[in-house]
């Protein structure tokens, strides 16, 4: 059974230059694997500066989610200082049509 895993990856200080340089490769990777994502996007601070990435991936296990992340050009560019991967259950909100209970 496919599960969801939320991945929160925080950028290292000064990673913005590398993030922008690798953007085309990163987006090409996302496009090639789009069916593996529930949602993906950049995290930003209140001034619009990049601070990290948020991905919700479809995977059978945390190990599979981690392996998926390891294929991302941003991962290879070493822009992230901390990566947290957690099982995720969507329970309420627009994306799940209101509530699931």
Q: Give the three-state DSSP class for 96.
A: helix
Give 15-51 pLDDT, tens digit per residue: 999 999 999 999 999 999 999 999 999 999 999 999 9
For residue 44, which of 72, 70, 10, 78 has the smallest C-alpha distance? Answer: 10
Q: Which two tokens stand for residue 79?
A: 């822009």
The two beta strands, 3-11 and 92-93, are unpaired
Largest CA distance in the chain: 44
Percent of the residues in the chain that have a pLDDT greater than 90, as a whole number: 90
pTM of the model: 0.90
Q: In the beta sheet, which residues pair with residue 57?
A: 5, 37
Domain boundaries, the chain: 3-90
pLDDT higher at 7 or 96: 7
**In CATH, what number does 3-90 get?**
3.30.70.1060
- 90 pLDDT band (50/70/90 cuts)? confident
Q: Tell me the C-alpha distance between 6 and 62, whole Å.
A: 10
């Amino acid at each position: 059974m496919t599960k969801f895993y939320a991945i929160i990856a925080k950028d290292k200080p000064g990673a913005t230059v590398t993030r922008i340089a690798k953007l085309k490769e990163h987006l090409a990777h996302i496009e090639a694997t789009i069916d593996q994502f529930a949602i993906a996007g950049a995290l930003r601070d209140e001034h619009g500066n990049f601070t990290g990435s948020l991905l919700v991936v479809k995977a059978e296990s945390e190990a599979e989610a981690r392996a998926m992340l390891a294929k991302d050009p941003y991962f290879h560019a070493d822009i992230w200082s901390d990566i947290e991967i957690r099982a995720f259950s969507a329970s309420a909100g627009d994306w799940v049509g209101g509530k699931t209970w």
